[in-house]
Amino acid sequence: MKIKLLFLLITLFSIKVFSQSEYILGTITNESGDKLPNATIYNLRTDQVVESDKMGNFAIQAKASDELRIVRQGYERKLISLTSDNFSKSLEIKLTTIPQEIEEVKLSFKPTGILKKDVTRLNPPAKVVALNGAMNNYMRTPLNEVAPKASTPSAFKQPDFAAGQLNLMKLAGAISGLVGKATSYPKTTADYSETQEFYKRVKSVVDMRYYTEYGLDEYDFDIFLAYADKAYDLAKNYRKNFNKVAIEFKLKEAFTEYIKTHSFSKKQSEG
């Protein structure tokens, strides 16, 4: 009988001890009811520290008469003394935002109400005006030193393959100009017989191989010659002052444009 009584007393004592050391569940919010995550909950007796989750919820081991300190940046600290009633339901903790004090702004300018007088106070100081004027004059002053130029060092420049070589086409044009000035005649429009005579002479001196390589036969060359004559006034400029070099230069220049709109490859392949 004594043994049973002792066992009952031990069981009741154990229940009492465990009932005094349980977990406190709670939620932390602000004045607007928004959930506050990352708030620190500190048990002053056990030194246990936990943080609230994303929904502001937390759980910490405690017992009645423990004190919890709740801290979060931007909010005032809060100290809560636990009672036995706090273990029967979730603890609702509301933190108060710390008011931010704005520094007082002192206005040195006190308007008088007289517009002409108050407007002058808005002008910059005389020293600032003088400094701005000096800077403007300095910026307008020409440079005393030669400004550096961005250039590629000679060691890294690409070689000029055309250096030292003559441009034959430009040389031919220059020669024709000199010859034309030395033996110039009044230029008049050629009639039909003069034009035909000029065409015969051109065909007798021009190297036709240059044009046959592109597929032109004699008939095609006659058509092209008429085109070149119309474009560059060949008969008018050279029938009385015949210049083979200048004429060949003009023909090749005209042919460059002519082949853009005329093709002789089919005739060449058929031949």
Tell me: the pLDDT tens digits for 51-84?
999 999 999 999 999 999 999 999 999 999 999 8
- Write down which residue in 94, 110, 141 finishes a domain: 94
Q: Which residue range(s) make up the domain with 77?
A: 22-94
- Write down which residue in 94, 116, 145 finishes a domain: 94
Classified as helix, coil or strand, 114 is coil
Look at phi and psi of residue 221 and say left if phi exceeds 0, alpha if psi is from -120 to 50, else beta: alpha
**Range scoring the smallest mean pLDDT among 99-103, 206-210, 241-245:** 99-103
pLDDT tier for residue 146 given thresholds of 50, 70 and 90: low
Higher pLDDT, 177 or 42: 42
**Stretch 142-147: mean pLDDT:** 65
Mean pLDDT, the chain, as a whole number?
79
Instruction: State residue 261's pLDDT score.
Output: 86
The domain that holds 28 is classified in CATH as: 2.60.40.1120
Instruction: State residue 271's pLDDT score.
Output: 52
**Total structural domains within the chain:** 2
pLDDT tops 70 at residue 239? yes
DSSP of 147-160, one letter per residue?
Answer: PP-----GGGSPP-
For 40, 193, 212, 232, the CA distances from 184, given in Å and listed in that order, are: 107, 21, 32, 17
**Stretch 229-238: mean pLDDT:** 91
The answer to whether residue 204 sits within a structural domain is: yes
